[in-house]
């Protein structure tokens, strides 16, 4: 039963703020308590009013607490915040009545080793982890291993390790493939590679990608879901693999994944569209 909701509103945006007040009053009228501003682990669900960036900001917490995550799109893209604003009322009614369906979305476990006294820093990503350079005009080398076996050294502007969900994010703009979100896999996509034969690679979900930060890689940074930035130091190590379990993303009741792809990527409807 939905007894309480964490309401996350896009920061600094007027429309989501106004709609948040309306939605909060509506939920309270149903006897549902509302916590605004952060994810309360004691809540029954998380509702996001904003764009994909707002949803990514709280996806890790929703995953850790096992909470269903409902995204109302008030941003630009809406690959993750699937439900358009005009369908918000119907989606909230379904949530309150527990008539919603869930998509299980793979998460990345991103672990940083060898930084200070802490044995490991742990992060979770819904879309991707990006290793790149802080300054323009120089090439970095990224030696990658898969399950401990040497894969290759990527030379260029960086490397994206993404989930299938993240395949329509930075991975897509870097020339990587689109994978259906039900496909469990890791996608490795080089960013502006120096070698023309450097191509995206899809790995099975049980593999772990590891990268050691070596001499000459000063100024390299790790970006997790476009939210968390971390300066990498020589001697450190990054371990990326599929996280245990899944994020519970509330599915749009009226729009399937292929409809969203056609809409967001401008694909032709074709016969029968």
User: With contact defined as beta carbons under 8 Å apart, do 150 and 122 qualify?
Assistant: no
- The 3-state DSSP class for residue 32 equals coil
Catalytic pick among 40, 52, 157, 225: 52
Neighbours of 231 (CB within 10 A): 12
Which of 108, 114, 60, 141 minimizes the C-alpha distance to 232?
Answer: 114
CA angle 182, 71, 268 (to 5 degrees): 60
Q: What is the spatial distance between Cα 145 and Cα 241, in angstroms, rounded to a whole number?
A: 12
| HEC-encoded secondary structure of 99-121 | CCCEEEECCEEEEEEEECCEEEE
Continuous H helices in the chain: 14-29, 52-65, 88-96, 170-173, 257-265
In which region does residue 236 sit, left (phi positive, over 0), alpha (psi from -120 to 50) or beta (all else)? beta
**CA atoms of 56 and 105, how far apart (whole Å):** 12
CB-neighbour burial class of residue 173 (10 A; exposed 0-12, middle 13-18, buried 19+): exposed
Q: Which helix (H) or strand (E) holds 248?
A: strand 247-250
Q: Is 52 labeled as catalytic in the residue annotation?
A: yes
> Mind telling me the catalytic residues?
52
């Amino acid at each position: 039963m939905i007894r309480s909701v964490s309401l996350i509103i896009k920061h600094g945006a007027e429309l989501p703020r106004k709609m948040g007040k309306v939605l909060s009053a509506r939920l309270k009228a149903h006897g549902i308590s509302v916590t605004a501003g952060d994810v309360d682990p004691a809540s029954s669900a998380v509702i996001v009013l904003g764009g994909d960036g707002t949803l990514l900001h709280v996806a890790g917490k929703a995953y850790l607490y096992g909470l269903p995550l409902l995204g109302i799109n008030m941003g630009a893209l809406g690959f993750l915040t699937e439900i358009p604003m005009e369908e918000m009322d119907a989606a909230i009614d379904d949530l309150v009545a527990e008539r919603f369906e869930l998509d299980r979305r793979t998460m990345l476990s991103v672990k940083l080793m060898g930084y200070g006294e802490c044995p490991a820093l742990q992060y979770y990503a819904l879309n991707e982890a990006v290793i790149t350079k802080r300054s323009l005009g120089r090439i970095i080398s990224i030696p990658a291993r898969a399950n401990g076996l040497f894969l290759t050294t990527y030379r260029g502007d960086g490397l994206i390790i993404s989930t299938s969900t993240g395949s329509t994010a930075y991975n897509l703009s870097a020339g990587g493939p689109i994978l259906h979100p039900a496909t469990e896999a890791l996608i490795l996509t080089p960013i502006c590679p120096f070698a023309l034969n450097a191509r995206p690679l899809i790995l099975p979900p049980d593999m772990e990608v590891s990268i050691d930060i070596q001499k000459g890689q000063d100024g390299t940074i790790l970006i997790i879901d476009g939210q968390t930035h971390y300066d990498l130091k020589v001697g450190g190590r990054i371990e990326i693999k599929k996280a245990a379990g899944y994020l519970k993303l509330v599915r749009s009741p009226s729009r399937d994944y292929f409809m969203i792809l056609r809409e967001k990527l401008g694909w032709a409807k074709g016969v029968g569209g």
